[in-house]
Structure 1
């Protein structure tokens, strides 16, 4: 074998071809040919892996293909192994090298190994797994072109924006139209795409649109919270494309152009009167596109996906994700936050705090520093309504909030029969608000008066008056207390003057015998 490595090394060090020929024992024509081939292949320096065998294969492939002794890799096996997670050509080359040594064969160098595999992959496979693995990525974007829906009433054309999702490996695509490109539709489109693919890829690659990425720093993109929550639910990761780097999502960029020609352009003259009708026409075209045979390889997008990629997709959860929208609000002085002109309560301790609000169609959840502090059933309808949890109120507000005719009747029943009769009489013969104000005074009396005393006073008031009221009840209770106080004082005085048998009085000490 030629001493190619030594020849090139001396050439790079500046030795003449005559000197190199004398040192290696090769003819000057051979030396000139080796140096010429190295220039053609743009080899400017030598590395450790560039052995004579490797250089011979690389510079003179027409010779090396016939050489005996090289261990032939199983390219089909290597191709399938590359589809597995974390498997690389470097790892497979090490395993191949080990097998070659065991069989006393010469292994290809790593560079030759990669070149030969690249030739195999480009010849037999549409997509090269060396760059994209099945089930690894879903690329998503809004198409630049739009469609239109005709308004039945006015005849006006309403713009419909087109969402595109593509699996780079199989090129299987999903397309759907929406009235706007806001966050709820963006997330809904992803959910429908996952359901169409019947699986989820490991990574989502969107563009830097505001519905997906709030801001994009070089290494730390800040994602829309609703979008991140959706990705967490489906156990996938969002990796936004770099700013002004369309090659980061080349498949979807290419698919957008292809879909614009095959679907959007094909539907340009169709007249639809609803979004559902338009999406039915779109999905029909999408299915036709995904089932169309490739021109340069056997199969279609759908068949490649079913045969080679679907098994690598993560399964869908049992229930589809319910889209949520996140907002920031400030707690008002009435311990409520206002969302779409509807008021929802939070614990009064969070007055004037900024909170995060998570909205779904059915639920409103309020978070403070990632801790949920309140949840309410979402109200749809008249603006200005309140959803208030009594447990969120201060004690004084809660007492007033719970002060209703029903609560007063229940309170009276716990005291006694005559109290219930009096309260029902007041509620019946007064305007509700006026009656409740009077009964609040009765509740205040109860704080310093026993239930027995109130029941007795109510009995007295009902027996002496045809128009009983709280003021009269107060007078009766006051007189009862005064009477009880007099009786108590009299009783104590009597006790103090009474001569008990064991008490030694004046007579005992002879005091009365001295009185004249």
Structure 2
């Protein structure tokens, strides 16, 4: 609607002077301090609206202005408007461009279609009215954005009453806004990876790119240009053939999809759960799952359909299939190979190739298996064993001499010792009966056999007899006796043991212990 360039009082005065008819437009303009063309314009509007001075005197300023300056009647356009929501949705499909969509629009509305430049200008004008995060064009099956919400949910331990804060993981697909959420106990690397795997199983496929933030749990070295990811995230990418494109630190615009999704989850899911009490993480996750389904079925406000329908149309056909097996979540721990070519984990001992004695290796521990890595290669694998102090040994890991000794049993060892002599047999029996684990007794007996080969059976028998006399039937004691030649000396008479202790004020009597 045109806006008058003069005040309503001057417009009224102009109509009054025009009604008199005695002055020209130039004279009226000079008298009122307006231009000649403005006087002509007011006269023209008055004639078009059939407003004379008599009628103007009966109208208010608003009524007079409405009659004189009516909004122009728009011309009927010969062009048919495109379906901008359809265009916006189709652009998310791989390979679809504005040029292609304009060609289809032109073929459908020949003679009534906009030119390509006007088509693009009108679409971009429509798209700018959407939220900033939605103006980015995302191709179906391309990106999965992941993050943790700032809000947490309290979980009460029913037995102790202790309250812990459950962390809320959120994931969203770029093209369809299809959303997933779940609760985890912490935000450690295992929780991140386990939640991402759950997301992939929720959408039943694998996108091309994973877009996380750069938390310490996932990134060993966060960096704006070349971040270094942790081993567990690398395993996830290798198992699912998934590429990772971390957002730049402190740059939320790199992942606006998940920023909005986190806000939606907080407002639409967590807010609805605020009055409920949860006594386990599983119960909380069941409640979240129910609301996630409802969230994905809510209609869009500015686009047709909902997240679920957009997912079925855009993302699902473009996702790659999941691998045949689910990735096992692993923890890593460094360990040094002991001299007996075993590594220790939670009190149990697992064998590695004997050539790695003294080397530092990496243990990859899953829920059921232990893998030993050296130089990035797997050198041993064992099922987990919870028996503390026990050994899990693979024969191929043993030296050839040790493998030969596997044929020995306690009965054979005692039979060998009895052939040497009674003292040797007594020492071997002691080893079998007093060692915490049979393997330790076997090792000492095999050492005695080596001493017998080195020094002869007679000397070994004499050394065992002397070791018994000093109450030290250990391999080290017997070896020391043989090295020093004490086995060749006669055994001394037993030392007399004093039957009673001398009376002294510092010596407690038997009454002290009653």
TM-score range, shorter chain: 0.5 to 0.7
Gaps of 5+ in 2: 1-73, 433-440, 455-514
Matched, 1:215 2:215: no
Matched, 1:311 2:313: no
Matched, 1:157 2:168: no
| Alpha-carbon distance change, 114 to 378 in structure 1, aligned in 2, over 3 angstroms | farther
| Alpha-carbon distance change, 210 to 127 in structure 1, aligned in 2, over 3 angstroms | closer
After TM superposition, the structure 1 = structure 2 runs for residues 22-61 of structure 1, keeping only pairs within 5 Å, are none
Matched, 1:181 2:187: yes
Cα offsets for 1:395-419 (capped at 9, x unmatched): 455555664337769xx9xxxxxx9
Which residue number in structure 2 is paired with residue 139 of structure 1? 145
After TM superposition, the structure 1 = structure 2 runs for residues 280-319 of structure 1, keeping only pairs within 5 Å, are 280-319=286-325
Residue 198 of structure 1, CA deviation: 1.7
Residue 433 of structure 1, CA deviation: 3.3
| Alpha-carbon distance change, 408 to 301 in structure 1, aligned in 2, over 3 angstroms | same
Matched, 1:387 2:392: yes
Gaps of 5+ in 1: 1-61, 413-418, 448-516
Cα offsets for 1:300-357 (capped at 9, x unmatched): 2112212232111122223222212233333344433333444333223223333232
Cα offsets for 1:433-484 (capped at 9, x unmatched): 379777887799899xxxxxxxxxxxxxxxxxxxxxxxxxxxxxxxxxxxxx
Looking at structure 2, the residues matched to 294 and 438 of structure 1 have their Cα atoms a distance apart, in angstroms, of 79
Residue 186 of structure 1, CA deviation: 1.5
- Which residue of 222, 233, 244 corresponds with 2:250? 244
After TM superposition, the structure 1 = structure 2 runs for residues 89-488 of structure 1, keeping only pairs within 5 Å, are 89=97, 92=100, 114-119=120-125, 131-380=137-386, 382=388, 384-398=389-403, 403-405=408-410, 431=429, 433=431
Would you say the 8 A contact 2:337–2:357 is kept in 1?
A: yes
Looking at structure 2, the residues matched to 429 and 211 of structure 1 have their Cα atoms a distance apart, in angstroms, of 55
Cα offsets for 1:64-95 (capped at 9, x unmatched): x879xxxx99989976774444x3648859x9
Structure 1 SS opposite 2:272: coil
Residue 293 of structure 1, CA deviation: 1.8
Would you say the 8 A contact 1:73–1:96 is kept in 2?
A: no
Over aligned residue pairs, what C-alpha RMSD do you find? 4.5
Residue 195 of structure 1, CA deviation: 1.4
Looking at structure 2, the residues matched to 171 and 180 of structure 1 have their Cα atoms a distance apart, in angstroms, of 25
Would you say the 8 A contact 1:148–1:159 is kept in 2?
A: yes
Residue 204 of structure 1, CA deviation: 0.7
Cα offsets for 1:150-199 (capped at 9, x unmatched): 11122222221111111122222111111111122221111111111122
Looking at structure 2, the residues matched to 225 and 260 of structure 1 have their Cα atoms a distance apart, in angstroms, of 31
Residue 279 of structure 1, CA deviation: 0.9
Looking at structure 2, the residues matched to 289 and 261 of structure 1 have their Cα atoms a distance apart, in angstroms, of 11
Would you say the 8 A contact 2:347–2:387 is kept in 1?
A: no
| Alpha-carbon distance change, 143 to 123 in structure 1, aligned in 2, over 3 angstroms | closer
Structure 1 SS opposite 2:253: helix
Would you say the 8 A contact 1:143–1:162 is kept in 2?
A: yes
TM-score, length-normalised on structure 2? 0.60
Residue 228 of structure 1, CA deviation: 1.6
Would you say the 8 A contact 1:228–1:238 is kept in 2?
A: no
Residue 299 of structure 1, CA deviation: 1.9
* Number of residue-to-residue matches in the alignment: 367
Would you say the 8 A contact 1:290–1:301 is kept in 2?
A: yes
Structure 2 SS opposite 1:431: helix
Residue 215 of structure 1, CA deviation: 0.9
Structure 2 SS opposite 1:254: helix
| Alpha-carbon distance change, 114 to 406 in structure 1, aligned in 2, over 3 angstroms | farther
TM-score, length-normalised on structure 1? 0.59
Would you say the 8 A contact 1:234–1:316 is kept in 2?
A: yes
Looking at structure 2, the residues matched to 438 and 331 of structure 1 have their Cα atoms a distance apart, in angstroms, of 23
| Alpha-carbon distance change, 366 to 300 in structure 1, aligned in 2, over 3 angstroms | same
After TM superposition, the structure 1 = structure 2 runs for residues 1-12 of structure 1, keeping only pairs within 5 Å, are none
Looking at structure 1, the residues matched to 265 and 89 of structure 2 have their Cα atoms a distance apart, in angstroms, of 30
Structure 2 SS opposite 1:356: strand
Structure 2 SS opposite 1:149: strand
Structure 2 SS opposite 1:265: helix
Looking at structure 1, the residues matched to 272 and 86 of structure 2 have their Cα atoms a distance apart, in angstroms, of 42
